[in-house]
């Protein structure tokens, strides 16, 4: 048996390469990454492809090793040059994740050291760091000292955590779900609906509250719906408002909704995944009035803090409600009981095994300081307003509501053609061009084109290029249709 063990040990040690091999790989990967970043200014934001990365299947898992050079070549062809280039400053379609370079270094450190950041006992420093980040975000949002939160994989899990926490805080039982009413804006993110299903609340009545002319949830209509449901013997329990909707960037009337929630004793959740970190821009302070009154807030650092995808946050005003919903103790974890100087992330989250996400957030915030983040966010506000003003000057275009943050919608109205058909051709032409990526949406049955200025690499030169591209394609489509 010892001989067999030694044979296996010799092979298994291949999983722990020495410094020479590590350095070789480091050089290749660093060169590959720097080349990618250095070419971003001239790379497309969207790569249209018939193959769509199909040749990655040639690199299925096998018994034998493959050289790194070959793997990176395939990565370039089948992954990096297919679909949306989310690192590009030309990505103004879906709300992009930025991918700050120090975040990659933070992920590298976290992966190499492989700290288990789920419980304090296992990695006290890592847990302290993440809780420090949570406390900073709580202060930013105006939350009290007894607030708590968790770094999640994104807004979807954050919204799920909020809904489950609300369910437990209100002591809802399955037999009462069909009478427990949930109130959403017609522009609420679909992850809320997914959370309703996953949390077992599919039988709960869901009220989609009408919008005002600026596509914001109507506080008057909300209260009318709550009062009627109470009169009908139902139990209103959860409101979700948006601070920056995905479609248009609209901000629901937070302070008015907070008063209604308090009056009728509902859990008030704010989905600020996109808009929350605009709190760093002092000129927007008035828009955040009442935010601190919410029971829970979703934030996405991978949106408006420009971090890589997979970095979300849920904040809950009363940490006791989070612990009530999620804290459990397994027998094999009994050694951790007396070590909890800090809240363990596993005790306030669905996740037990947890990646040390905090490094990807902490490192750039400390290396850069907050000043450039504030400047970048304010720049995005001005860029969006500039585009909104300029597109209105082009004959034939109409726009949606004045942008409250960094999203705007617009469409071209041809004189003698169907507008929706024309704009579908226009968005297709922009995407096929590839230098700038935009997306479309449908609101109240009308087809619109969206611009979302969120990437830290998006500057005035990209906005000017977009305006030129739009003008050129409108001319081309008009000629083709005539």
Where residue 266 sits, what CATH number does that domain have? 3.40.640.10
Q: What's the confidence (pLDDT) of residue 51? A: 87
Q: How confident is the model at residue 417 (pLDDT cuts 50, 70, 90)?
A: confident
Q: What's the confidence (pLDDT) of residue 328? A: 80
Query: How do residues 273-299 score in pLDDT, each as one tens digit?
Result: 999 999 999 999 999 999 999 999 999
Query: How do residues 120-174 score in pLDDT, each as one tens digit?
Result: 988 999 999 999 999 999 999 999 999 999 999 999 999 999 999 999 999 999 9
**Mean pLDDT on 424-440:** 96
Pair 418, 351 in one domain: no
Q: What's the confidence (pLDDT) of residue 338? A: 57
Please check whether residue 34 lies inside any domain of the structure.
no
Q: What's the confidence (pLDDT) of residue 456? A: 96
pLDDT exceeds 60 at position 439: yes
Please check whether residue 48 lies inside any domain of the structure.
no
Give me Rg for the CA atoms of the chain: 25
Q: Which of 350, 368, 386 is the last residue of a domain?
A: 368
Measured CA to CA, the distance from residue 252 to residue 240 in angstroms comes to 10
Q: What's the confidence (pLDDT) of residue 287? A: 94
**Pairing mode, strands 407-412 and 397-399:** antiparallel
Q: What's the confidence (pLDDT) of residue 9? A: 93
Q: For residue 72, how far is the Cα from the chain centroid?
A: 28
Instruction: Report helix, strand or coil for 180.
Output: strand
* Share above pLDDT 70 across residues of the chain, in percent, rounded to a whole number: 98
Contact 414, 405 (CB under 8 A): no
Q: Which of 352, 368, 384 is the last residue of a domain?
A: 368
Pair 202, 349 in one domain: yes
Pair 181, 304 in one domain: yes
Q: What's the confidence (pLDDT) of residue 133? A: 98
Measured CA to CA, the distance from residue 222 to residue 17 in angstroms comes to 61
**Mean pLDDT on 203-225:** 95
Q: How confident is the model at residue 397 (pLDDT cuts 50, 70, 90)?
A: very high
Pair 246, 380 in one domain: no
Instruction: Please give the residue range of the domain that contains residue 461.
Output: 371-481
Measured CA to CA, the distance from residue 340 to residue 148 in angstroms comes to 14
Pair 437, 319 in one domain: no
Which of the residue ranges 75-79, 119-123, 140-144, 260-264 would you say has the lowest mean pLDDT? 119-123
Please check whether residue 337 lies inside any domain of the structure.
yes
> How far are the Cα atoms of 149, 166, 445, 481 from residue 344, in angstroms, in the given order?
10, 20, 46, 62
Pair 392, 361 in one domain: no
Instruction: Report helix, strand or coil for 79.
Output: helix
Pair 345, 388 in one domain: no
Pair 213, 240 in one domain: yes
Q: What's the confidence (pLDDT) of residue 254? A: 97
Measured CA to CA, the distance from residue 410 to residue 446 in angstroms comes to 11
- Mean pLDDT across the chain: 94
pLDDT exceeds 90 at position 423: yes
Q: How confident is the model at residue 402 (pLDDT cuts 50, 70, 90)?
A: very high
Contact 315, 137 (CB under 8 A): yes
Query: How do residues 351-379 score in pLDDT, each as one tens digit?
Result: 888 889 999 999 999 999 999 999 999 99
Q: Could you identify the residue written with the tokens 């943050």? A: 405
Pair 298, 398 in one domain: no
pLDDT exceeds 90 at position 394: yes
Please check whether residue 91 lies inside any domain of the structure.
no
Considering only CA atoms, which of 185, 389, 385, 135 is closest in space to residue 283? 385
Q: What's the confidence (pLDDT) of residue 50? A: 85
Considering only CA atoms, which of 326, 378, 373 is closest in space to residue 350? 326
Pair 202, 233 in one domain: yes
Please check whether residue 225 lies inside any domain of the structure.
yes
Q: How confident is the model at residue 230 (pLDDT cuts 50, 70, 90)?
A: very high
Please check whether residue 31 lies inside any domain of the structure.
no
Please check whether residue 157 lies inside any domain of the structure.
yes
Considering only CA atoms, which of 149, 100, 138 is closest in space to residue 362? 100
Q: How confident is the model at residue 179 (pLDDT cuts 50, 70, 90)?
A: very high
Residue 409: which CATH number? 3.90.1150.10
Pair 396, 283 in one domain: no
Measured CA to CA, the distance from residue 241 to residue 184 in angstroms comes to 7
**Mean pLDDT on 418-444:** 95
Measured CA to CA, the distance from residue 253 to residue 172 in angstroms comes to 27
Pair 212, 344 in one domain: yes
pLDDT exceeds 60 at position 219: yes
Instruction: Report helix, strand or coil for 95.
Output: coil
* Share above pLDDT 90 across residues of the chain, in percent, rounded to a whole number: 87
**Number of independent structural domains in the chain:** 2
Q: How confident is the model at residue 339 (pLDDT cuts 50, 70, 90)?
A: low
Query: How do residues 2-51 score in pLDDT, each as one tens digit?
Result: 999 999 999 999 999 999 999 999 999 999 999 999 999 999 999 988 88
Q: Which of 368, 400, 415 is the last residue of a domain?
A: 368
- 439-476 burial by CB neighbour count: b if 16+ within 10 A, else e? bbeebeeebbbbbbbbbbbbeeebbeebbebbeebbee
Please check whether residue 37 lies inside any domain of the structure.
no
């Amino acid at each position: 048996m010892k001989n067999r063990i030694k044979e296996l040990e010799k092979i298994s040690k291949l999983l722990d390469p020495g410094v020479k091999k590590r350095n070789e790989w480091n050089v290749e990967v660093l060169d590959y990454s720097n080349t990618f970043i250095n070419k971003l200014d001239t790379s497309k934001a969207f790569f249209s492809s018939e193959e769509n990365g199909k040749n990655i299947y040639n690199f299925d898992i096998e018994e034998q090793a493959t050289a790194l050079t070959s793997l990176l070549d395939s990565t370039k062809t089948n992954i990096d040059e297919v679909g949306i280039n989310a690192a590009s400053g030309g990505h103004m379609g879906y709300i992009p994740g930025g991918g700050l370079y120090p975040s990659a270094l933070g992920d590298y450190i976290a992966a190499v050291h492989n700290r288990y950041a789920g419980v304090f006992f296992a990695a006290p420093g890592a847990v302290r760091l993440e809780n420090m980040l949570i406390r900073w975000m709580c202060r930013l949002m105006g939350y009290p000292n007894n607030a708590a939160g968790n770094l999640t994989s994104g807004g979807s899990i954050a919204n799920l955590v909020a809904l489950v926490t609300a369910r437990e805080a209100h002591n809802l039982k399955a037999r009462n779900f069909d009478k427990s009413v949930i109130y959403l804006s017609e522009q609420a993110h679909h992850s809320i609906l997914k959370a309703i299903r996953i949390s077992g609340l599919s039988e709960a009545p869901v009220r989609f509250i009408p919008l005002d002319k600026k596509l914001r949830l109507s506080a008057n209509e909300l209260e009318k719906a709550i009062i009627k449901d109470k009169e009908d013997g139902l139990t209103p329990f959860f409101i979700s408002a948006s601070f920056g909707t995905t479609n248009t960037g609209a901000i629901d009337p937070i302070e008015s909704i907070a008063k209604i929630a308090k009056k009728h004793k509902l859990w008030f959740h704010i989905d600020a995944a996109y808009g929350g970190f605009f709190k760093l821009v002092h000129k927007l302070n008035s828009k955040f009035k009442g935010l601190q009154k919410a029971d829970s807030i979703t934030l996405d650092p991978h949106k408006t803090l420009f971090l890589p995808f997979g970095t979300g946050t849920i904040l809950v005003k009363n940490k006791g409600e989070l612990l009530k919903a999620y804290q459990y103790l397994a027998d094999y974890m009994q050694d951790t009981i007396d070590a909890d100087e800090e809240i363990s992330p596993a005790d306030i989250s669905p996740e037990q095994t947890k990646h040390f996400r905090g490094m990807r957030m902490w490192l750039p915030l400390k290396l850069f300081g907050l000043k450039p983040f504030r400047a970048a966010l304010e720049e995005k506000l001005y860029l969006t307003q500039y585009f909104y003003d300029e597109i209105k000057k082009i004959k034939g275009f109409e726009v949606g509501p004045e942008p409250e943050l960094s999203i705007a919608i617009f469409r071209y109205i041809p004189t003698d053609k169907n507008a929706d058909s024309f704009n579908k051709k226009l968005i297709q032409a922009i995407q096929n061009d590839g230098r700038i990526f935009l997306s479309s949406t449908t609101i109240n049955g009308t087809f619109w084109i969206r611009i979302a200025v969120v990437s830290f690499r998006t500057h005035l030169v990209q906005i000017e290029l977009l305006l030129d591209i739009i003008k050129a394609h409108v001319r081309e489509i008009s000629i083709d249709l005539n």
